[in-house]
Amino acid sequence: MNRRQALRNIGWGSGALVATPAILSLLQSCQQNPGFAPVFLSEGQGHALKTMVDLILPDEPGSPGAVAMGVHKFMDLYWHEVLVSEADLPELEDEFTKVPESRQQKSVREGFAALQTVFQAEFGKDLESGSSEDFDGLLAKYLKSEKVPEGDSAAGPEQLTYGLLTSIRGQAIWAWKRMEVIGEEVLWYDPVPGVYQGCIPTSEAGNGKVMSL
């Protein structure tokens, strides 16, 4: 497996998410249920996910953040309940498939294993002991980088960590924007869209906010 394929495997991320009724129902259930007990991730990985999601989309005045909306819980449940495991399907892939369905769960697990390796090397401790400052530094290192990290291995920890973190960012933003509270109270919400109005001030067109879909 070359480096590009490894990144594609872990980076299928938000591009694979479709707002079906079942997915939207899962989103709302995560928003309504307090507490977080990971079902797909380990406790340490769950701590890492929750901390990073909070850093990517923190609480702001008038805008609840991703953790307040339960985005981290949705991602853990999505990986557990929606992604296909290796036992479910044979290995099938063609030139148009980014990640064979049978590798989806495995790709996420490989990404978190790589994250643990990188985090241990960087900070000398396990994920469950990581502070907000530790994860903030890690996100800055990978998500603000202008290029994919190079490494000795074609699919090494640095590359897999980069792919995982970019996927987490994409999925977190996707899920946050589709929460009912965010869509109706934070974004530009029009329950009956479709009317064209040209040359109107931004104050009448959401004040520059993204329209809720």
Instruction: Tell me: pLDDT of 15 over 60.
Output: no
The DSSP output letter for 33 is: S
Per-residue pLDDT, 95: 46
The Cα–Cα gap between 35 and 122 comes to 29
Q: What is the mean pLDDT of residues 85-95?
A: 53
Higher-confidence position of 56 and 191: 56
Label residues 116-148 b or e (16+ Cβ within 10 Å = b): bebbeeebeeebeebeeebbeebbebbeeeeee
Per-residue pLDDT, 178: 81
Instruction: Tell me the pTM.
Output: 0.74
**Confidence at 131, pLDDT banded by 50, 70, 90:** very high
**Confidence at 82, pLDDT banded by 50, 70, 90:** confident
Lowest mean per-residue pLDDT among 1-10, 70-79, 123-132: 1-10
Q: What is the mean pLDDT of residues 33-48?
A: 90
% pLDDT > 90, the chain: 36
The Cα–Cα gap between 186 and 213 comes to 12
